[in-house]
């Protein structure tokens, strides 16, 4: 995980999520989610471990993303991870916000905007 000069403090779940993303480890990323979790990204929804792992593998292969976390906070019952996402895609880097709903210590819902 890369952090900017503000060095946000990450809880263990957020740290595991960001680390798995930056290491391009789809299996570790999927383990951060509940079995019936939903991910919304790029206008598509992915529900359940199998679909989330396929989404992650596809994104890692296509874009080689690296998230530089700038801020972690709370907003309307969501944990919000904000930062610059760089990779092999047009317009890189872009500022993105990951809105996470956490249930029983795992991500139950993720929307990336």
Owning domain of residue 34:
2-112
Residue 113: name the closest of 80, 90, 88, 91 by CA: 80
Q: Do the beta carbons of residue 84 and residue 94 sit within 8 Å? A: yes
Number of domains into which the chain is organized = 1
Q: What is the pLDDT of residues 68-100, one digit of tens each?
A: 999 999 887 889 999 999 999 999 999 999 999
CATH of the domain at 66: 3.10.450.50
pTM summary value? 0.89
Asked if the model's pLDDT at residue 7 lies above 80, the reply is no
Measured distance between the N- and C-terminal CA atoms of the chain, rounded to whole angstroms: 20
């Amino acid at each position: 995980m890369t952090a900017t000069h503000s060095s946000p403090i990450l809880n263990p779940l957020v740290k595991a999520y960001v680390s798995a993303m930056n290491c391009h480890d789809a299996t570790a990323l999927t383990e951060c989610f509940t079995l019936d979790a939903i991910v919304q990204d790029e206008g598509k929804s992915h529900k359940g471990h199998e679909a989330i792992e396929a989404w992650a593998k596809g994104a890692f292969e296509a874009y080689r993303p690296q998230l530089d976390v700038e801020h972690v906070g709370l907003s309307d019952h969501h944990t919000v991870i904000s930062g610059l996402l760089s990779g092999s895609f047009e317009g890189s880097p872009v500022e993105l916000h990951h809105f996470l709903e956490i249930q029983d210590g795992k991500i139950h819902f993720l929307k990336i905007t």
